[in-house]
Chains A and B, each alone.
Chain A
Amino acid sequence: MGANLVNLNVNPCKMCMPMGAVTAFSGIQGCMSILHGSQGCATYIRRHMATHYNEPVDIASSSLSEQGTVFGGEENLLKGLKNLIHLYHPEVIGVATTCLAETIGEDIHRIIDRFHSENPEEKVKIIRVASAGYSGTQYEGFFRALRGLVEQLAENARKGDYINVITSMISPADTRWLKSCLRDVGLDFILLPDLSESLDGEYSREYRRLKTTGTSADDIARMGGARLTIEIADYISEEYSPAAYLEEAFGVPFLRISLPTGIESTDAFHAALRSAGGSIPDEFIRERGRYLDAMVDAHKFCAEARVAVFGEPDFVHAVIKLCCEIGAVPVVVATGSLCPDLITGLEDIVKEAAARLFVETVVLRDDADFDQIEAWCKETGANLLIGSSDGRRIAEKLSLPLIRCAFPIHDHIGGQRVRIMGYDGSHFLLEGIANAMIDHTHATYRREIAEKYLADEVSSKASEIALADRFIDTREIARKTETHPCYSCSSCGTHARMHLPIAPKCNIQCNYCVRKFDCPNESRPGVTTEVLKPREAFEKFKTVKAQFPNLSVVGIAGPGDALANFAETREALEMIRGYDPDITFCLSTNGLMLPFYAEELIRLGVTHVTVTMNTIDPDIGAKIYHHVDYMGTRLEGVAGAAVLLANQMTGIRMLAEKGIVVKVNCVAMKGVNDEHLYDVTKRAQELGAFITNIMPHIAVIGSAFEGLEKLNNKELEKLRSSCEVNIQQMRHCRQCRADAIGTLDEDLSIQFRTSSGNPDKSDSKVFRRIAAASKSGMIVDLHFGQAEEFYIYESDGRSTSFIEKRRVDKYCTGAQECDEHDNKMERILKAIADCEVVLALRIGDAPRKRLERMGILPVTTYDMVESAVLTAVQKI
């Protein structure tokens, strides 16, 4: 969305000042904070802090209402202070203003003075912070509160042998580390603020509302007497720097250092402690050594990382420094705060890290939002995100790992215990980065290596494919998918396929199927198919291949289920593979036995599998499947469906995981599963299927569903479109026969009806030619005027034979095309001019007359094509 769009923030990468202010106050002993404004600010902030820290967070509000905006909020604030004091007895109260208070121009200083003069007995210290939400982010709010504390509490104390340590917003766990570190080097110190216990408390039987931990007001008062201030923050302006104030007001010199993350910054931190008079214990040196050792161990993995870091300026600085040290390349460096210094401060080291590994594009930006960060991640090819949990949306969208280590963390627990400081804390980031890269490699390297190096080798040696169960060659599969007419629309006219009818048995009974015909939806049929023995199938393959060099696919599509006839399937495929190493093997199944044979199918070199999965709900399944024959038992109803569905899904997942291209066929049955197909296709996608093919149910006479209304094309298209959000939809399915040969548009199987492979030259003495208007090729199911193609048969009244399929333009597709009405009618008539009979579901009056005039007998019927043809011929 880019830099020129500057008026809209899309998904903020920052919060507001009151958030920072109350966080700072949480680190002060006996302190309660109150936000002067409308109560939503307190509620929202409590909600966000509680989620991150997994602790109760008490923030009061002056609950300003509309009246307050007109007459000022003074009375509300005074009331609020009184109630807060009465109920909580705090020692310190932090009053932070909000947008509302600042916009109406509340004079907090005066209100607090009035409070003290009206309540002289109250000893509570009230600290004011001007923290309008529109004036800065939580980063600035945090320091403004600290500055307020120091300005309003620090005194010109007697000089003592202690130092001040002031930090930017760090986690309670890092604070605990910092404190123990300062103790270990033997320094007397005052830490501001100290969130170590207040936002990561231990379990106690009684919850204490008032924090007894944190920096005390007395300690802050003494800060003016320290001999040195160490301020751990890089980008705070002098105006709001507590250390700068202490120097200006009390002459306390200060050192400003970065968050001690990574080697250099942690070294600098230790150096600062040494210069402050601390003695570095041996344990620190050992810790440093261990971290160095870990860097050496991890450097190979870290070099893979292209990191996007986002968050508060100091955090970003710390993480970027570490990344550059360990050899990771920060490709996106972003903060939501306005902080140009961060960019200039990091530009050199980031560019150097990028140049080292020939990375060309890096983005460093302040005032950024997540929408921009997402775009930059794509642009730079980032492979890892580091920051708050708000990065999860990008992580999900771009499938990137996210290391959550900055405020706020809302979708994990443990935000309060994140450690990134010190050699010890640096391990967390170092290992997080390295392990993210290793995990990525684990998940992908086999495929990548196979794609790069094994593709040619595999395709050149047939026997190796048959045994290649270790590497599934995805590039090869992709190539095969492109030349597979059923999967690739572009190849459906150029590449031929051949279905081998070697699988007569079936192991389930679908209610839409009559077993005396072939499976009507796995494959189309109706006409008698010859069932071949594996050896015959192999011979037929050789014949066809010799005539059609563009034959790219051999499939097994019934007439029963390929896996219910597995011995035959295996035998045929092995023979063909031995003869033609390049041919694509494809197979369709109801999936019942898939989990048993998936591995073996892969070994046989089957790369494309179609599973007919009509439902994922056993209750619906019970309506579709009459029974399932499984392991020697006949299961009916829900029990049978449950086994079938579970095996289908397991099988699909097993194949998809190995890189096999799985097509899921869904037979859409109106009122049975049509509304459920959205869920089915969604599950198919989740299981790893490549495409789904939603086919209209064809009502077979004699089947349990023979009376079921068929989905019309419009409904079908709507269904496919609605499922398209889940997974790619196949739209060019022709519902082919189990023994189809040729391209999808041109079935030549008739020529190969016997294994001799010679075209069937039948006698033409009493044969009559008949045209059938049929969509499926199985039933006469089309209106004459809507027929796109006619199935042409010849029959002598005793037997029938299929001649060819003829395509015509339909002539009544919609009002807008009615101008061409006549023209198209002519074309239809022309297409069937040589026939004596035409069979259709309906024929209008006008065309009926035209047909009769042409000497063609119009017959309206709704029957199987074969039997309709016979009936019609017998009538003549």
Chain B
Amino acid sequence: MREREELLDKYTAKVYKNRKQHITQLEFGAEPDTITANTRAIPGTMTARGCCYAGCKGVVVGPLKDVAVITHGPIGCAFYSWGTRRNKAKNDPESDNKNFVPYSLCTDMRPTDIVFGGEKKLEKAIEEVIDIFHPKCIMICSTCPIGLIGDDVQAVAKRTEAQYGIKTIGFSCEGYKGVSQSAGHHIANNGLMRYIIGTGDKKPVGKFTVNLLGEYNIGADGWEEERILKRCGIDVVSVFTGDGSYETLQNAHLADLNLVMCHRSINYVAEMMKTKYGMDWIKVNFIGVGATCKSLRMIGKYFDDPELIARIESVIAEETESIREDMENYKAKLKGKTAGIFVGGSRAHHYQLLLRDLGMETIMAGYEFAHRDDYEGSAIRPFIKSDADTKNIEEITVEPDPEKYRTRYPEEMLVSLQKDGVELDAYTGMIPDMIKGSMVVDDYNFLEVDQLGKIMKPDIIFSGIKDKYSTMKDGIGSRQLHSYDYSGPYSGFRGAVIFARDVAMSIYTPTWRLVKAPWKNTPLLTGTISGGEKHA
């Protein structure tokens, strides 16, 4: 379609050939809309992607509050991943108030360490960490040089664990591995599965217990979700990993059900737990009022308990009523506005539903580091070609645990639940939720987001700090969906109102009226002839 061609227009033949597979304008025709994803970024195109270390340390293991995470490598990586995600964690008396989230620990490697190897330094650093922090668990995250100079962090972890009796886990998440953060998520998932999940024996007390997977508690999202679940009578055993802890992850396998928020970063754990412990998982979405209600109802159906279902309905009724007036007010302001969402791996999908609650439509969306199933749904999995970069990331195979494996329902029941609308053990993907003519851009880059703003002319773009300022300089509203610009929570019922307020504030700031210089209001001869600003 026209807009897609316009976007690709600026590229050289080679880049064009590559990028056109990653950019789809949805047709919903006879042929399904497809997209290429999870392949290497093109050098020099200003990709928004981060590295494997960022996915492992920054996203998945960093938020575990009672774990001392050591960055093994030079200082920069430790500095840049220090407190940048806004994943909130409260001190928790149950885990002795251990909360290392505000810290950044690093072996601060120097040239001599690169030459002679850093294992000794790492071992001493671990000793110092134990002296200073007395953590319950230590994790080591490797940066680029580590694999290259041959430091074996797993071996160091094993040695120090034996020596000090403190669980120590080494992650070989060197920045260059894989094609994006996604590789780091996978490596982190493998480590959690291999060394932590299933090592505890503290049985949860509640009647209905769940784990919340892929919730990183940015701006307290997770706390709003837990509040709602608790009101419904559902107890959260562990959260992967926002405000989560080593302590609780150990017992995750004893919960009844896994709820998956961010599919991309944590689906490996959900699937491995299904295989090893027989635990079912549901893809939920607590972003958006409608989506939250739907997710709660799916949980109710899964547990198939009349009392629970009744309680869920009454919570939904009360909560929606309590925000109804606010939501209606904001909807009156926002109805008919359009948006673009360019975020990591799942939010670009989740937020479309919240925007729809507000009468807004998402006309373009993209993921930084998603795979095809995040766009097209789990059904596409068998058709995804595995390339060299994917093969380099270890796949661990798990077997049903002879003692701990237990299934709640027979297969027929699961099939009937699925038929009944419970999104069990599968994800439908983002594309089915979008409308015809929308642009879907995988591994979007700086230039494309900038261009898309001009071509698609949305009222607001939800993205990250890297795109925020150029978006605003284009006169388009912006809100960071990584850090929420210090706002939040945006999840659940209360979060929806905060989000609505923030969006309305961005679109309706009086500043937009002032930043258009008076002389720009008078049409210029050149402007009218060349067809508007977009070619300027």
A21 CB → nearest B CB, Å:
12
Which of B156-164, B171-179, B487-495 forms part of the interface with chain A?
A: B171-179
Cβ-based interface call for A569 (8 A): no
CB pair A99–B80 under 8 Å, yes or no, is no
Task: Return the contact of A87 from the options B10, B105, B111, B125 (Cβ within 8 A).
Answer: B10
Cβ-based interface call for A453 (8 A): no
Which of B50-58, B234-242, B272-280, B328-336 forms part of the interface with chain A?
A: B50-58
Knowing A47-B466, A60-B46, A103-B149 are in contact, say whether A725-B103 is a contact too (CB < 8 A): no
Which of B28-36, B70-78, B203-211 forms part of the interface with chain A?
A: B70-78
Task: Return the contact of A207 from the options B97, B129, B470 (Cβ within 8 A).
Answer: B470
Cβ-based interface call for B79 (8 A): yes
Cβ-based interface call for B341 (8 A): no
Contacts of A239 in B (CB 8 A): none
Cβ-based interface call for B15 (8 A): yes
B16 CB → nearest A CB, Å:
11
Contacts of A103 in B (CB 8 A): 114, 144-145, 148-149
Task: Return the contact of B144 from the options A58, A100, A721 (Cβ within 8 A).
Answer: A100
Q: Chain B residue with minimal CB distance to A11?
A: B104
CB pair A15–B105 under 8 Å, yes or no, is no
Residue in A9, A18, A39 with the greatest tally of chain B CB atoms within 10 Å: A39
Contacts of B466 in A (CB 8 A): 43, 46-47, 50, 56-57
Knowing A103-B148, A206-B533 are in contact, say whether A61-B10 is a contact too (CB < 8 A): no
Chain A interfacial residues counted at CB < 8 A: 78
Knowing A7-B124, A43-B466, A99-B143 are in contact, say whether A203-B12 is a contact too (CB < 8 A): no
Contacts of A42 in B (CB 8 A): 46
A88 CB → nearest B CB, Å:
8
CB pair A16–B79 under 8 Å, yes or no, is yes
Contacts of A323 in B (CB 8 A): none
CB pair A133–B76 under 8 Å, yes or no, is yes
CB pair B50–A87 under 8 Å, yes or no, is no
- Contact indicator per residue, chain A 1-28, by CB within 8 Å of chain B (1) or not (0): 1000101111110111111000000000
CB pair A40–B52 under 8 Å, yes or no, is yes
Task: Return the contact of B75 from the options A34, A67, A137, A721 (Cβ within 8 A).
Answer: A137
Interface Cβ pair total, 8 Å cutoff: 252
C-alpha gap A163/B373 in the complex (Å):
61
CB pair A40–B53 under 8 Å, yes or no, is yes
Contacts of A55 in B (CB 8 A): 469
Chain B interfacial residues counted at CB < 8 A: 90
Q: Chain A residue with minimal CB distance to B51?
A: A40
C-alpha gap A5/B108 in the complex (Å):
12
B77 CB → nearest A CB, Å:
7
CB pair A62–B148 under 8 Å, yes or no, is no
Contacts of B44 in A (CB 8 A): 34, 60-62, 79-84, 87
- Contact indicator per residue, chain A 81-98, by CB within 8 Å of chain B (1) or not (0): 111101100000000001
CB pair B43–A61 under 8 Å, yes or no, is yes
Knowing A50-B466, A50-B469, A83-B12 are in contact, say whether A60-B74 is a contact too (CB < 8 A): no
A536 CB → nearest B CB, Å:
48
Segment 65-89 of B: residues with Cβ below 8 Å from A: 70, 73-82, 84
Cβ-based interface call for B509 (8 A): no
Contacts of B125 in A (CB 8 A): 7-8
Contacts of A875 in B (CB 8 A): none
B163 CB → nearest A CB, Å:
15
B287 CB → nearest A CB, Å:
23
CB pair A99–B49 under 8 Å, yes or no, is no
Cβ-based interface call for B325 (8 A): no
CB pair A722–B93 under 8 Å, yes or no, is yes
Cβ-based interface call for A204 (8 A): yes
Contacts of B121 in A (CB 8 A): 7
Contacts of A336 in B (CB 8 A): 75
Task: Return the contact of A56 from the options B109, B149, B470, B517 (Cβ within 8 A).
Answer: B470
Cβ-based interface call for B385 (8 A): no
Cβ-based interface call for A65 (8 A): yes
CB pair A10–B132 under 8 Å, yes or no, is yes
B291 CB → nearest A CB, Å:
25
Contacts of A207 in B (CB 8 A): 450, 470, 473-474
Q: Chain A residue with minimal CB distance to B76?
A: A16
Knowing A83-B15, A99-B74 are in contact, say whether A7-B107 is a contact too (CB < 8 A): yes
CB pair A8–B75 under 8 Å, yes or no, is no
CB pair A83–B148 under 8 Å, yes or no, is no
CB pair A63–B42 under 8 Å, yes or no, is yes
Cβ-based interface call for A205 (8 A): yes
Contacts of B74 in A (CB 8 A): 16, 99, 132-134
Cβ-based interface call for A278 (8 A): no
CB pair A134–B43 under 8 Å, yes or no, is no
C-alpha gap A447/B10 in the complex (Å):
68
C-alpha gap A132/B132 in the complex (Å):
30
Cβ-based interface call for A449 (8 A): no
Segment 107-134 of B: residues with Cβ below 8 Å from A: 107-111, 113-114, 121-122, 124-125, 127-129, 131-132
B118 CB → nearest A CB, Å:
10
CB pair B75–A43 under 8 Å, yes or no, is no
A56 CB → nearest B CB, Å:
4
CB pair A86–B111 under 8 Å, yes or no, is no
CB pair A12–B106 under 8 Å, yes or no, is yes
C-alpha gap A321/B294 in the complex (Å):
63
Cβ-based interface call for A159 (8 A): no
CB pair A41–B47 under 8 Å, yes or no, is no
CB pair B54–A40 under 8 Å, yes or no, is yes
C-alpha gap A261/B318 in the complex (Å):
61
CB pair A40–B175 under 8 Å, yes or no, is yes
Contacts of B465 in A (CB 8 A): 47, 50-51
Cβ-based interface call for B1 (8 A): no
Cβ-based interface call for B407 (8 A): no
9 A/B residue pairs, CB under 8 Å, sorted by A = A1-B132, A5-B128, A8-B125, A12-B108, A34-B44, A41-B76, A55-B469, A79-B43, A205-B475
Q: Report the 7 A-B pairs with minimum CB-CB distance, sorted nearest first.
A: A40-B51, A16-B76, A80-B43, A80-B44, A83-B44, A44-B80, A134-B74
- Residues of chain B at the chain A interface (Cβ within 8 Å): 10-12, 15, 40-54, 70, 73-82, 84, 91, 93, 97, 102-111, 113-114, 121-122, 124-125, 127-129, 131-132, 143-145, 147-149, 174-180, 388-389, 392, 446-447, 450, 464-470, 473-475, 515-517, 520, 533, 536
| New contact pairs (17) apart from A43-B51, A83-B12, CB-CB < 8 Å | A7-B121, A12-B104, A17-B76, A37-B176, A38-B175, A40-B52, A41-B175, A44-B77, A57-B466, A58-B446, A61-B41, A66-B178, A67-B388, A68-B176, A83-B44, A134-B75, A207-B450
